[in-house]
């Protein structure tokens, strides 16, 4: 899944003071969504509650992003990049 999410273009400009890794934010959002989180507030709250677990596989250099950070990023990311892969795409996602 990480390799698939790395292909999503980060719409942010580094000069704007980005503090959080884009792919890490996507991983958090997907994991939170799989845990029934529906809003950016739910995602950020879930991430804060699961921070120790998330740190087992994410760096979270600047901690967990806030709901405002998730909202700013999700407002500008291209939703077409999240279209579900078909056929070979699913095989690639499930490969070790």
- As for how many domains the chain has, the answer is 1
> How far apart are the C-alpha atoms of 82 and 85, rounded to whole Å?
8
User: Per the domain annotation, does 65 fall within a domain?
Assistant: yes
> What is this structure's pTM?
0.85
User: Per the domain annotation, does 55 fall within a domain?
Assistant: yes
User: Per the domain annotation, does 32 fall within a domain?
Assistant: yes
User: Per the domain annotation, does 54 fall within a domain?
Assistant: yes
State which residues form the domain around 61: 22-77
- For residue 13, the 8-state DSSP code is -
Tokens of 36: 């029934």
The distance of Cα 31 from the centroid of its chain, to the nearest Å, equals: 8
> How far apart are the C-alpha atoms of 67 and 58, rounded to whole Å?
18
> How far apart are the C-alpha atoms of 13 and 42, rounded to whole Å?
26
pLDDT of residue 2: 80
Give me the tens of pLDDT residue by residue for the chain, a chain 96 residues long: 788 889 899 999 887 789 999 999 999 999 999 999 999 999 999 999 999 999 999 999 999 999 999 999 999 999 988 776 655 555 555 556
pLDDT of residue 89: 57
Helices (H), 7-95: 22-34, 40-49, 51-54, 67-76, 88-94
46 three-class SS: helix
User: Per the domain annotation, does 82 fall within a domain?
Assistant: no
User: Per the domain annotation, does 86 fall within a domain?
Assistant: no
């Amino acid at each position: 899944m990480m390799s698939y999410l790395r292909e999503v273009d980060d719409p942010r400009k580094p000069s704007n003071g980005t503090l959080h890794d884009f792919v890490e934010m996507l991983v958090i959002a997907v994991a939170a969504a799989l845990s029934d989180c529906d809003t950016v507030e739910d995602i950020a709250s879930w991430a804060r509650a699961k921070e120790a677990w998330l740190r087992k596989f994410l760096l979270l250099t600047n901690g967990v992003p806030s709901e405002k950070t998730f909202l700013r990023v999700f407002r500008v990311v291209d939703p077409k990049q999240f279209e579900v892969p078909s056929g070979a795409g699913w095989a690639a996602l499930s490969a070790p």
